[in-house]
Amino acid sequence: MNLLKDFKNPVLARKLSAAIAETVGDRPFSIMEVCGGQTHTIYKYRLREMLPPNLRLVSGPGCPVCVTPIEYIDKAVFLALEKGASIYTFGDLVRVPGTMMSLEKAQAEGADVQPVYSPFQSLQAAKANPERHVVFLGIGFETTLPGVGLVIREAQRSGVENFSVLLSAKRVPPVLDALLSSGKAEIDGFITPGHVTSIIGTKAYDALCETYRVPMVVGGFEPLDLLGAVHLLAGELAGGGTRNLNAYSRASSKEGNVKAQQVMEEVFEEKDDELRGLGVIPKAGYGIRESFAEFDADRRFDIVTNSREPKGCICGEILCGIKAPEDCPLFGAICTPDAPVGSCMVSNEGACNAAYLFRD
C-alpha cells in the first residue's frame, strides 16, 4: 500500500461520500474535528463539499500554537530580551504576535531565537554553549510532550545546568470535557486527534462518550482517514449511538504508547491550565514535577509580563467551534498569514490560516 497515494484515492473518496450521505439521512448534525492538522486537510481537499449539506464540520481547539496563551509569547520575548536567554523553538511559534512583539521581532532587536525540529537540538546547543542559558519552548498537546520529557530527563542525567523549558503543554480530554460541559458549541460528534491518541490511547475518551452520550471516532490526517471517520460517526449519529470508535487503527490503539505515557508521568504532573480563548480548564495542562524543577524556566526566572489579547481577534470563539474564520471582520483584510493578528492565522494547523490559504 502506498500511504501517500492510497489515502487520497478520489474513487474511494466519492464512494465514502455517497455512503455518508446515505447513512446520515436528512437530520442536521455537527461534527467537530478536534485537531488542526485535520482542519488543514479538510480545507485543502475541500472535504466539506463532499458531505451532505445537513452534516456540518466544525473546527476545534487542537492546534497547539493557537491555544497557547499570549502571555506565553510575552514570557518568551521577556526571557530573550531581558534575561539574554537563547530561545529554541518550533518554527510556527516565532511569528505569533505577543502583546508588544513576536519572537521574530525580538530577533530583529538582537534576541537569539533559533528554530528547531527537535527539543534535543536545544539540549545539544546548551552543551555546546555553556556560557549561555538555553530555553526550549515546550508547547503542544500530548503528542509532543514525551519528547520534551525525554530531553528534560537527559538534561538532568547529564548534569546540564544552563538549560530549561518554558512549558505550555495541554491535555485533549479535559479540553473536550470543558467544551461539552459548557454547552458553548452544539456538537453532536467528535473526530478525535490521531497523533494525540497514538500516545494516550482511545480509552482516554471512554468516559466522555459515556458521560455526555456523544460519539467519538479517532481520525487520521489524510482525506480518506477523515471521510472514514465521518462515515463511522454518521452511523452512530443516525442510530443514536455514543460509541468511542477508531478509524485510525494503523497508528492508534486502545492503550496508546505506554512507554511515552511513563515518561510523561515521570517528568510532568497534571495541573489546571489556561488555553487561549477557553480560559482556565481543570487538569487541562501539565507542569514540570518538583524533582525536575531546575529545568522549569517559570521557576528559574522571575518573569514579568503585562499581556493583552489582540483587539478584534475571535480566535477563542473559533477554537470553541462557535464561529468560523470567515466570521471574523479582520479575516483576509487586516489579518493574513503575512501579517497575522492572532495565533489562528499563524500556524499551518490554525483554522484561519487554512481558511485563508484554501479560500476560493
Using CB under 6 A as the criterion, which residues of the chain lie in contact with ligand SF4 when the complex forms?
Answer: 313-315, 318, 325, 328, 330-331, 335, 341-342, 344-345, 352
Give CA–CA dist 123/163, Å, rounded: 7
Nearer to ligand SF4, 201 or 325 (CB): 325
Q: Residue 109 contacts by C-beta under 8 Å, 6 or more apart in sequence?
A: 81, 101
Helix, strand or coil for residue 123? helix
Q: Which is nearer to ligand SF4, 113 or 341 (CB)?
A: 341
Question: Could you tell me where the beta strands, DSSP code E, fall in 25-162?
Answer: 29-35, 55-62, 86-89, 113-115, 134-140
Report the nearest approach of ligand SF4 to the CB of residue 174 (Å): 24
Nearest approach in angstroms of CB 346 to ligand SF4 is 8
> For the chain, how far is it from start to end, CA to CA, in angstroms?
33
Residue closer to ligand SF4, measured from CB, 171 or 276: 276
State the residue number with the nearest CB to ligand SF4.
342
Distance of CA 59 to the CA centre of its chain: 12
- Smallest distance from ligand SF4 to CB 69, Å: 14
Closest approach, Cβ 200 to ligand SF4, in A, equals: 28
H or E element that contains 8 = none
Q: Which is nearer to ligand SF4, 94 or 167 (CB)?
A: 94
Report the residue number, 50 or 315, with the smaller CB distance to ligand SF4: 315
CB of residue 311 to ligand SF4, shortest distance in Å: 9
Closest CA to 351 of 8, 99, 29, 37: 37
Choice between 223 and 321, CB closer to ligand SF4: 321
CB closer to ligand SF4, 23 vs 353: 353
Apex 23 CA angle, 22 and 24, nearest 5: 100
Query: Nearest approach, Cβ of 318 to ligand SF4 (angstroms)?
Result: 6
336 close to 205: Cβ distance less than 8 angstroms: no
To ligand SF4, the closest distance from the beta carbon of 323 in angstroms equals 8
For residues 58 and 185, give the distance between their C-alpha atoms in angstroms, rounded to a whole number. Answer: 9
- Residue 211's contacts (CB-CB under 8 Å, 6 or more residues apart) are 177, 180
